[in-house]
Amino acid sequence: MTAITHPVRREADAPARHHTWQHIVRVTRLQFVDPWVLIWTPAVIIGAAWLVSIVIALIITRVAGLDPEQMRQGMSYSWAVLSPFWYFAAVGVQAVGTTLQFALGIGSTRRDYWLGTTLAFAVFSAAVAVVFAGLRAVEVVTGGWGTSAVVFDALWYGDLPWWLAAYTTFALSLAVLVIGAALTTCYLRWRVIGVVTVGLAVVAALLIALAAITWLQAWPALIGWFAGIGVTGVFGIVLGIALLAGIGGYLVIRRATPR
């Protein structure tokens, strides 16, 4: 009997192929193989949002003849800078839906797949943060691309030093991607029922929280608390949500079956 089982043992233990880190990073690389998903499409979206913003700025100042400084203030509420984040949610959903079965077929574990994929999201979000910070710097230096337009210096970004602004971009991008991916793991494990249940649970939790806050007349205190933690704190919460979604996705995907 030992003569039979022995070679199996040795074979199973022997390979120095069990390099966990390498197993994770190859999944990360897998997510970047097709440059259209994480490079060109986001670039096209942000490019289009930039172009539209510039054209609007030109119309306002040159055609309508409004005061550039007044327009600058108005445009600082523009959501153009957020336009690619909607796409990122779709990327998060799609990444898991279309690459999990392939990765499992060529011998990845779900664990390595999830860690590698979320690492890809983190790398990507860091890149987006750097690019946005760079574009904002150019925008400020060139006086709104020579047109007083505001694209990247808008919303909360306008009030923050570049490194804090980059941190908020990173947090938002990562959260959107990981939440999208985690929802897909629910779909793969429990199909539509899983997604609907999670969706309803989140909505119910939010409603209960709103009711409780109203009931306790805690709105002023809550608003004061948010003001106290500031943008940094708010995006710390966003990062925390990303972390929770990441942990949840990890637990769910370990028993998920691709279809």
Partner 1 sequence: MSTSTMTAPVIRTHRLTKRYGSVTALDHLDVTVPGQRIVGLLGRNGAGKTTLMQLLTGQIFPDEGEVEVFGERPAENPRVLSRVSFVAEAQKYPYSFHARHVLSVAPWFFADWDADLAASLVDTFGLPLRRPVAKLSRGELSMVGIIVGLASRAPLTFFDEPYLGLDAVARRLFYDILLADYAERPRTIVISTHLIDEISPLLDHVLLIDRGRILLDADADVARGSTTVVSGATSAVDRFVEGRTVLARHSTGPLARATVAESYDAVAAPATAAGLTAEPVTLQQLLIDRTSSRQGRTS
- Select 33 or 141, whichever has its Cβ closest to partner 1: 33
Distances (CA, A) of 136 to 85, 118, 128, 164, 179: 17, 27, 12, 13, 27
Q: Which stretch binds partner 1 (CB under 8 A): 10-18, 51-59, 75-83, 228-236?
A: 10-18
Number of residues forming the site for partner 1 (CB under 8 A): 39
Of 252, 21, 247, nearest to 118 by C-alpha is: 247
Listed in sequence order, the residues at least 6 apart from 101 whose beta carbon sits closer than 8 Å to its beta carbon are: 258, 259
Of 180, 80, 170, 181, nearest to 126 by C-alpha is: 170
Q: Is residue 62 at the binding interface for partner 1, with CB under 8 A as the rule?
A: no
Q: Is residue 69 at the binding interface for partner 1, with CB under 8 A as the rule?
A: no
* Binding-residue pattern over the window 90 to 109 for partner 1, x denoting contact by CB under 8 A: ----x---xx-xx-xxxxxx
Report the C-alpha gap between 152 and 136 in whole angstroms: 5
Q: Is residue 36 at the binding interface for partner 1, with CB under 8 A as the rule?
A: yes
- Select 62 or 255, whichever has its Cβ closest to partner 1: 255
Listed in sequence order, the residues at least 6 apart from 35 whose beta carbon sits closer than 8 Å to its beta carbon are: none
SS3 content of the chain, % helix, strand, coil (to 5): 85, 0, 15
Q: Which stretch binds partner 1 (CB under 8 A): 32-40, 158-166, 171-179, 196-204?
A: 32-40
Q: Is residue 251 at the binding interface for partner 1, with CB under 8 A as the rule?
A: no
Neighbours of 142 (CB within 10 A): 11
Of 162, 37, 13, 175, nearest to 94 by C-alpha is: 37
Q: How many helices (H) and strands (E) does the chain have?
A: 9, 0
Q: Is residue 2 at the binding interface for partner 1, with CB under 8 A as the rule?
A: no
Q: How many residues does the chain have?
A: 259
Which structure tokens are listed for 141? 């230096």
Q: Which stretch binds partner 1 (CB under 8 A): 5-13, 78-86, 119-127, 203-211?
A: 5-13
Q: Is residue 118 at the binding interface for partner 1, with CB under 8 A as the rule?
A: no
Q: Which stretch binds partner 1 (CB under 8 A): 19-27, 52-60, 229-237, 241-249?
A: 19-27
- Select 124 or 145, whichever has its Cβ closest to partner 1: 124
- Select 14 or 63, whichever has its Cβ closest to partner 1: 14
Q: Is residue 189 at the binding interface for partner 1, with CB under 8 A as the rule?
A: no
Which residues of this protein are in contact with partner 1, per CB under 8 A?
A: 4-9, 11-13, 15, 17-18, 20, 23, 26, 29-30, 33-34, 36-37, 94, 98-99, 101-102, 104-112, 254-255, 257-258
